[in-house]
Amino acid sequence: MGIRKKVIGVAAASALTLSGLVAMATPASAQVITSCGTHVMLPATLANDLNCTGTQYGLHIAGNSGSGVLDLQGHTIDGNGELNNTRNEYVGIHIEGARNVIVQNGTVTGFDAGVAITKGSRNQVVNVTAHDNVNHSSLNSSPAAESNRCRFGDGIVVTNSNNNVIKNNRVFRNGPFDGIGLVGNSDNNIVSRNSVYDQNVANELSNGDNGPCGPFSAGPTGAGRLYQDIGIRVEGPGANGNQVLANNVTDNQLNGISIHGYVCFVGNGGISPPGAPAVGMPNTNNLIQGNNVRRNGFQPDGAVIDGIGILRQGPFGNITCASNSNSIIANTSVANARDGIFVPPTGDPAIAANNTVDKNIVRNNRRDGIRVEGPFTGILGQYPGSNNNTLRNNQGTGNGEHDGHDGNPNCDANFWQQNIFGTVNQACVRANGGSGVVTP
């Protein structure tokens, strides 16, 4: 499901409160920025639009930049990514090893990533438009550009960073990875009230071959998956306690919102591909709440994907385990190409899924409204289906196959309660005060 190669390695407890997120004024003593490649000392303001070609970053905020506000003052930073014919990947605003930084009020476009937070904490990206930030291998057919490492391909990306807030941004036409991504060991971040739409960039070279960005390659280069654009991606491994709240997520080519799998069988009797890391860290205890998720997953190659999905796929294909112990609450997931909400088996028979799916509305999705996957055959034999999930107070109607679907015989250890469905695949899905006509 489109995992990048760069990965090698509820709500109430967050240290950052949404009520404290307001655009902040910058003092008169702020640094005034007028050129590309500036090492920012905070507080700072951008005085004019920037056209940046061939610079590693538009603006760079490092650990020695101090804390405070970078106010873009409505200006645009343009990376002209189509002119990048090197192996180097460029970032519009790179917050690297910094804390307590606020970037606000402007547009970043034409880079491999619009805004990137790397090994930083307690930073905020607020009221920023990040659009058309595309890994340059998809834009330039030079041999150097096609051999870059594909660390980036995002509108806004948080990597190995905790307690950051991404709020009130407009994010569109970025790729080939995602609009907003939480990558690596990134915990307790908040992604809230963003408009994330039309991530639709093909990972394709000028000759039609798949580009180097994407899954299924253990080395730094090689063909990746052609379509892998996700609206909001919790990728990990080791992404725990993150909150994805009240976003509008529409018309992205893969999932609208996804929580990804992790490598779990290396060194445990599984098949270890060349260059694979040791057993990875799971992604757990993430919250997806109050989002509006519509019309995602319609890929040009005919594959269809879900509105909200917990995925078992990871960097090396089918040897991975799914995230567990997540909460999917009070979302509306409508008219997506496959399922409104998809819950897979963990992939490890010793781990229970333990997800909570509560108070969601699922309508008019092409396959199922809510689908809990049953047993499957994997590299080590037969695996149990997704179990120990709690699914309650959900409403579904008009979905293509079933409004509520559990692929486990007699729902196994899943608990369905007070769900209002038009159709279900077996009686246990309508149990405990629920409804739904059983259809094949």
| DSSP letter (8 states) at residue 146 | H
Looking at residue 15, what is its pLDDT? 38
Is residue 189 within 8 Å of residue 165, measured between CB atoms?
yes
| DSSP letter (8 states) at residue 145 | H
| Total count of domains within the chain | 1
Whether 25 is covered by a domain: the verdict is no
Question: How is residue 319 written in tokens?
Answer: 């040897």
Give CA–CA dist 237/315, Å, rounded.
Answer: 10
Looking at residue 4, what is its pLDDT? 54
* pLDDT of 6 strictly over 70: no
pLDDT tens-digit profile of 198-245?
A: 999 988 887 777 888 876 443 444 566 788 899 999 999 899 999 999
Looking at residue 164, what is its pLDDT? 98
Q: Tell me the pLDDT of the chain averaged across its residues.
A: 87
pLDDT tens-digit profile of 46-65?
A: 999 999 998 889 999 999 99
Mean pLDDT of 114-122: 97
Question: Residue 287 half-sphere exposure, CB side, CA atoms within 13 Å?
Answer: 20
Whether 374 is covered by a domain: the verdict is yes
Mean pLDDT of 245-272: 80
Whether 21 is covered by a domain: the verdict is no
Which CATH number do you get for residue 159? 2.160.20
> Is residue 411 helix, strand or coil?
helix
Closest C-alpha among 256, 370, 374 to residue 308 = 256
Whether 6 is covered by a domain: the verdict is no
Domain around 201: 11-15+31-438
> Is residue 428 helix, strand or coil?
helix
Whether 4 is covered by a domain: the verdict is no
Closest C-alpha among 185, 228, 186, 220 to residue 204 = 228
pLDDT tens-digit profile of 359-383?
A: 999 999 999 999 999 998 766 677 8
Q: Which residue has the higher pLDDT, 150 or 381?
A: 150
Q: Which residues contact 263 (CB under 8 A, 6 or more apart)?
A: 237, 276, 277, 279, 280, 314, 315, 316, 319, 320
* pLDDT of 158 strictly over 50: yes
Lowest-confidence segment of 11-15, 80-84, 140-144, 172-176 by average pLDDT:
11-15
pLDDT tens-digit profile of 423-437?
A: 999 999 999 999 999
Looking at residue 138, what is its pLDDT? 86
* pLDDT of 342 strictly over 70: yes
Mean pLDDT of 242-259: 97
How much of the chain, in percent, has pLDDT values that exceed 90? 67
Helices (H) and strands (E) in the chain, counts: 1, 40
Closest C-alpha among 268, 363, 224 to residue 307 = 363
How much of the chain, in percent, has pLDDT values that exceed 70? 85
Whether 338 is covered by a domain: the verdict is yes
Whether 88 is covered by a domain: the verdict is yes
Query: Exposed, middle or buried by CB within 10 Å (0-12, 13-18, 19+), for 119?
Result: middle
Looking at residue 365, what is its pLDDT? 97
Whether 23 is covered by a domain: the verdict is no
Task: Classify strands 395-397 and 361-363 as parallel, antiparallel or unpaired.
Answer: parallel
Give the confidence band of 14 by pLDDT, cuts at 50, 70, 90. very low
